[in-house]
Amino acid sequence: MAILNWNNQLVLGIESVDKQHKHLIDLTNQLDEAVAIGADRDTIIKIVNGLIDYTVYHFQHEDQLMSAANFNPTMHAIHDAEHKEFVAKMMVVQLEVQADINAISVDLMDYMVNWLYHHILNTDKKMAISLISGIDAAQISIDKHEHSEIIQSNLYSALRESESRFKELAENISALIWITNANHVPIFCNHFWFATFNLPPDIPSREQWLNAIHPEDRDKVTQTYIRAAEERSKFKIQYRLLSTDGKITWIYETAAPRVRKNGSFAGLMGCGMDITSQKQAETVLARSNLQLEEEVKKRTRELIKTNQTLEFEKNQQLLLNTQLQEAQSHLLQSEKMASIGQLAAGVAHEINNPIGYINSNLTSLKNYIDNLLALIALYEKSEATSENIDQLAQVKAFKQKIDLEFLKTDVLDLLEESHEGATRVKKIIQDLKDFSHLDSNDDWQWTNLHAGLESTLNIVNNEIKYKAKIVKAYGDLPEVKCLPHQLNQVFMNLLINAAHAIENEGTITLRTGTENDCAWVEISDTGKGIAAEHQSKIFDPFFTTKPVGKGTGLGLSVSYTIIKKHQGEIQLTSQLGQGTTFRIILPIAGAILENA
């Protein structure tokens, strides 16, 4: 659309000036059209900048023409003032539009149209006549009546062209184009509007318009129109049309108020789209989505159920695997301990007989030595009465040679030490027999825990004696009903672990005591301790913090199982760099199931 039309009435006769005027009108029309179609901000700013630059160029060209022709100075000044006024106005617009695109208003466009027409047909026309005819511009008068007629003719022409283009567009677009007056009565509706509302092609009454709208939507539409009129606001609305045969058509409408220059409401103008197909698609899509959601929920429930079943089966499998591992570890440890027990019993049996011989022989030998020493004492008494000087000299020399006085005391010491060694061997053999318990069944017995600790200490003494000092802080313990050989196995595991935890030298402390109806045994070391992240896994089968090849990870697991079998507890307290304490708590009366 064009708000300015170029025709022969605007031609001044100077080709360069006419060409530039025509281009200025084209630029003004471009700006108006860009604002009308809602072009982006950068596009509008570019057109404004171009219009200003070309206007300055045009004014400079006219100024050069007037200067070259010695144009009337007074008229030259008036012409120059009009140029500066327009440039100043456009420079302000240029600044304003940078901040707000709405600075390009209807009033501004009216100003530009009015200025261009009046400037071309008044000031520039006098300049052209003066330059072409050589007449003083001050002597030239413009017929104001003719001037106004040309302006009106051009404005009317532009209006008719705009109106024609609008109708051509409105009648050929697949959209509902309409305009109402202040009473919301349609004053223009395009062909598509009539076809969609199923009304004859004539300006409809308000009743015809409302009756075509679905009864349930009439109030909503009416209230929306009224609110837009009161608030001078735009709106968007969806509503239904209901034909006489019951067909429903969905309309999506966008409208804006028409406001006169004095601010009064002139009506509404809007555009609507038939969105029935879209609504039907939305309905189908909603139904499909609902079905899909139901299918998803159903499938989700099935998957959850399947996952629960799989999770249960997985947990059962893990439980079975754990039980199998524990059984394997217990079997391995049991076989290991059985082998140790058989070996210990065999060694004890084989050593016991020769040690018995040695003990018996040492006792007999001591008696023989005592008798020999008594005989030597008698001989020494007879030396004083002997007259055989040579014999006495020989005896005295031999006594000095063999250091008889030393032999008489040392031989007794040797016999005492040998007897003590044989007694210690016999004690070790007895501890081996007590530890292996091959002579007893796997029965619950009332047992002295201190005796079990002592025998176990004797067995593992070789692991401990070079690294740790043993400190005993025994309390007053009653006998405890238990499986003694299994508890000895627990004591052995804990004592060996304590020795391994001490890298150089340290202390292993044994404490015992009672609390309520339970007895407790503590084995503490001053070793390197156990890291916090490992403490929760320390009793798991095959878990070990020892280097590869140094441990199987079964000792503590088996110990934990044995204590649980006794319905007791095994507690751990450890801190890195300070040491570890294991406390074993056992019911004095034994496990409840055993007593039942």
Fold of 443-595: Heat Shock Protein 90 (3.30.565)
Rounded Cα distance, 51 and 45, in Å: 10
Is residue 541 helix, strand or coil?
coil
Q: Mean pLDDT over all residues of the chain?
A: 80
Q: Does residue 356 carry a pLDDT above 80?
A: no
The whole-number pLDDT of residue 521 equals: 94
Q: Does residue 542 carry a pLDDT above 70?
A: no
The whole-number pLDDT of residue 441 equals: 46
Name the CATH superfamily for 173-274: PAS domain (3.30.450.20)
Rounded Cα distance, 433 and 349, in Å: 9
Name the CATH superfamily for 8-169: Hemerythrin-like (1.20.120.50)
Distances 119 to 6, 86, 126, 138 between C-alpha atoms, Å: 14, 10, 10, 16
The percentage of the chain sitting over the pLDDT mark of 70, rounded to a whole number, equals: 81
| Average pLDDT for 277-296 | 88
Q: Is 72 exposed, middle or buried (0-12, 13-18, 19+ CB in 10 A)?
A: buried
Distances 62 to 11, 56, 113, 125, 484 between C-alpha atoms, Å: 15, 10, 20, 12, 125
Cβ neighbours of 185 (radius 10 Å): 14
Complete DSSP assignment for 162-224: HHHHHHHHHHHSSSEEEEE-TTS-EEEE-HHHHHHHT--SSPPPHHHHHHTB-HHHHHHHHHH
The whole-number pLDDT of residue 239 equals: 94
pLDDT digits (tens, 9 = 90+) for 96-139: 888 777 777 666 777 777 787 778 888 888 888 888 988 888 88
Q: Does residue 438 carry a pLDDT above 50?
A: no
Q: Is 546 left (phi over 0), alpha (psi -120 to 50) or beta?
A: beta
Do residues 560 and 570 lie in contact, with contact meaning Cβ atoms separated by under 8 Å?
yes
Q: Which residues of 149-173 are buried (b: 16+ CB within 10 A; e: fewer)?
A: ebbeebbeebeeebeeeeeeebeee
Q: Is 10 exposed, middle or buried (0-12, 13-18, 19+ CB in 10 A)?
A: buried
Rounded Cα distance, 564 and 558, in Å: 10
Helices 555-565 and 276-382: crossing angle, nearest 10°?
Answer: 90
Q: Does residue 214 carry a pLDDT above 50?
A: yes
pLDDT digits (tens, 9 = 90+) for 370-399: 777 777 776 777 666 666 777 777 777 777
pLDDT digits (tens, 9 = 90+) for 439-453: 444 578 899 999 989
Residue 146 — very low, low, confident or very high, per pLDDT cuts 50/70/90?
A: low
First-last CA distance in the chain: 108
Query: What predicted TM-score, i.e. pTM, was given to this entire model?
Result: 0.35
The whole-number pLDDT of residue 519 equals: 94
Q: Does residue 149 carry a pLDDT above 70?
A: no
The whole-number pLDDT of residue 440 equals: 45
Beta bridge partners of 176: 272
Rounded Cα distance, 488 and 456, in Å: 6
The percentage of the chain sitting over the pLDDT mark of 90, rounded to a whole number, equals: 17
121 secondary structure, DSSP code: I
Q: Does residue 333 carry a pLDDT above 60?
A: no
The whole-number pLDDT of residue 583 equals: 94
| Average pLDDT for 487-516 | 89
The whole-number pLDDT of residue 449 equals: 92
| Average pLDDT for 65-92 | 87
The whole-number pLDDT of residue 401 equals: 76
Start-end of H helices in 403-535: 404-436, 449-459, 461-464, 484-501, 532-535
Q: What are phi and psi of 521, to 5 degrees?
A: -130, 130
The whole-number pLDDT of residue 586 equals: 93
Q: Does residue 430 carry a pLDDT above 70?
A: no
Do residues 140 and 78 lie in contact, with contact meaning Cβ atoms separated by under 8 Å?
no
Q: Does residue 19 carry a pLDDT above 90?
A: yes
Q: Does residue 547 carry a pLDDT above 70?
A: no
Q: What are phi and psi of 200, to 5 degrees?
A: -65, 150
pLDDT digits (tens, 9 = 90+) for 254-264: 999 888 767 78
Rounded Cα distance, 153 and 10, in Å: 11
Do residues 275 and 250 lie in contact, with contact meaning Cβ atoms separated by under 8 Å?
yes
Q: Does residue 419 carry a pLDDT above 90?
A: no
Distances 450 to 68, 87, 188, 478, 572 between C-alpha atoms, Å: 132, 114, 114, 10, 21
Handedness of CA 402, 403, 404, 409 (dihedral sign): negative
| Average pLDDT for 170-179 | 82
539 secondary structure, DSSP code: T
| Average pLDDT for 62-79 | 88
The whole-number pLDDT of residue 16 equals: 92
Q: Does residue 237 carry a pLDDT above 80?
A: yes
The whole-number pLDDT of residue 263 equals: 77
Residue 520 — very low, low, confident or very high, per pLDDT cuts 50/70/90?
A: very high
The whole-number pLDDT of residue 258 equals: 84
Strand 265-274 and strand 176-180: the pairing is antiparallel
The whole-number pLDDT of residue 530 equals: 86
